Chains A and B, each alone.
Chain A
Amino acid sequence: MNPSGKTILIIDDDADFAEALGAALEAAGFRVLRARDGHQGLKLAKLEAPDLVLMDIIMSERTEGFFAIQEFRRTPSLASTPIFVLSSLYDAVADFRVAPEAGWLAHDAFFSKPVDLEELIRAIRQRLGLNAAVREGTG
């Protein structure tokens, strides 16, 4: 089922989290793809051209997501695919305090885990142009 016509790719090594998140997104009308690391995610994205990517940072390597985002950005067919980062990075690495808004991370939005699912789905729908009311509301 894919009433929205949109595909979301979840890249996360936490299988339980990816499963739960995927189920919530499917319930919200999205088609969901899952990958357990950046390499697999990139490979899948090249094949499936998702409309949006949800990217973890700390995976098999704790900076994997950072580099994976760069890989997406330098792939022409994926360079403009929206990437939302979902990570517990700032809790897990206490002395890393460089905000994602500082311009070094080529992402579109950052959500700290645990993620508020309603807020996330609202943001996804807004980013994909599926929710005119929200878009107007946030200017």
Chain B
Amino acid sequence: MKILKLSKDKLDFFASVLQRFGEVHAPVEDNGEFVFRRLARWSEARLDYQRTILPLKKYFLPPRETLLEYRPGTGYVPAERDLEARLVLFGVHACDIYALNILDRVFTGRYADPYYETRRRNIAIIGIDCRPDERCFCRSMRADFVDRGFDLFFHDLGDAYLTIVGTALGDDMVLATGPLFSPVTAADIEEYKRRSAGKRAAFRLEVEIRDLPEIFEMEYDSGIWDELGERCLSCGSCSVVCPTCYCFDVHDEVELAGNGGRRVRTWDSCLFSTHALVAGGENFRKSRASRIKFRYYHKQRGFVAEYGRPSCVGCGRCIAACPVGIDITQVIDTLRGVLHAGPQ
């Protein structure tokens, strides 16, 4: 592992040279919120951002994409446009990188998704430190630190970034920028450790995930699910903003003239009333309570059984997005019988 230092006053030049490796996207402010977007100029980047509205899955699993097109005579033609676009995502928080590592298990495992895999290969990730706010509980979900899934990671040292080189591509980026980077000193390492401890101490929201799958198992018939079902609007906001919710729907759009069509994949949500609707009209999760219960069980229990850890990374987006104030940490605490004193 290579660890270097980059002075903050050189960051703009580093970002400029990165354009060799792809279109540079970074968090920018938009109406008081933050979104990842292509930079038209360096000053648009807001590396001090809190969470973005949408997570990075929008780059790897777009909200809507054409998978293939079909025409009479030529048959099916894969739609591969834009797949090969090379991007550099600059300023990604650890929890969002962790989320991508989780999505990798789903989309690059036994049933590999070539669209996702290609984008993952062509999109570079540059991580950056963050400070937790009142909705962050990534430390509880063990996602406040990542040791893989990025090409470079910048840890704030005050006037410089301690830079972890994560991949050969990251090393190429460092080499391409010539003398911009310098070796770390003993003082830099001490400062890194001091700030790292400070970040750990800054978390105000915590949940206990130890034995959580067992608690879920025991509370399968708890009345809390009906109570949540009464509050939940089934709007799907929580799953849209979740960095690891990956449910999608696939449908064919046939051109009215009958000369072909396309197969389209769009984001779906297990909160939607049609999510478990199958041919013949049967719906396996008719009630809102059953749908929100399914979402919690999939993320906190089913995913553990399949992949060894919950798929939640504690980014806090679902808490911020829920229009009726359903808070996952409070749900977990209620299941555990813990009186919650967190933010309302």
Contacts and interface: CB of A to CB of B under 8 A. Distances in A.
Given A38-B41, A61-B43, A98-B178, A93 B13 contact: yes
Contacts of B178: 96-98
Contacts of B17: 98, 102, 104
B179 to A, nearest CB: 6
B23 A62 contact: no
Contact of B42 (A67, A102, A103): A67
A74 B16 CA distance: 15
Contacts of A106: 19
A66 B43 contact: no
Interface size class of A (residues with CB under 8 A): 20 to 34
A71 B39 CA distance: 9
A11 B197 CA distance: 48
Contacts of B176: 98, 102, 104
A63 B12 contact: yes
Contact of A95 (B10, B15, B23): B10
A64 interface: yes
A95 B10 CA distance: 9
A112 interface: no
B40 A96 contact: no
Given A67-B39, A67-B40, A102 B13 contact: no
B7 to A, nearest CB: 9
A105 B17 CA distance: 7
A2 interface: no
Interface size for chain B: under 10, 10 to 19, 20 to 34, or 35 or more residues?
Answer: 20 to 34
A70 interface: yes
Interface in B160-184: 176-180
Contacts of B177: 98
B180 A96 contact: yes
A101 to B, nearest CB: 12
A67 B23 CA distance: 10
B20 interface: yes
Contacts of A39: 40-41
Given A63-B42, A70-B23, A102-B20, A95 B179 contact: yes
Contacts of A68: 41
Interface of A: 38-39, 61-64, 66-68, 70-71, 74, 93, 95-98, 102-106
Given A61-B12, A67-B42, 17 more contacts: A61-B41, A61-B43, A62-B12, A63-B41, A67-B16, A67-B40, A70-B23, A71-B40, A95-B179, A97-B178, A97-B179, A98-B13, A98-B17, A98-B176, A102-B17, A102-B20, A104-B19
Q: Which 7 A-B pairs have the closest CB atoms?
A: A104-B20, A66-B16, A63-B16, A63-B12, A98-B178, A67-B41, A104-B17
Interface of B: 10, 12-13, 15-20, 23, 39-43, 176-180
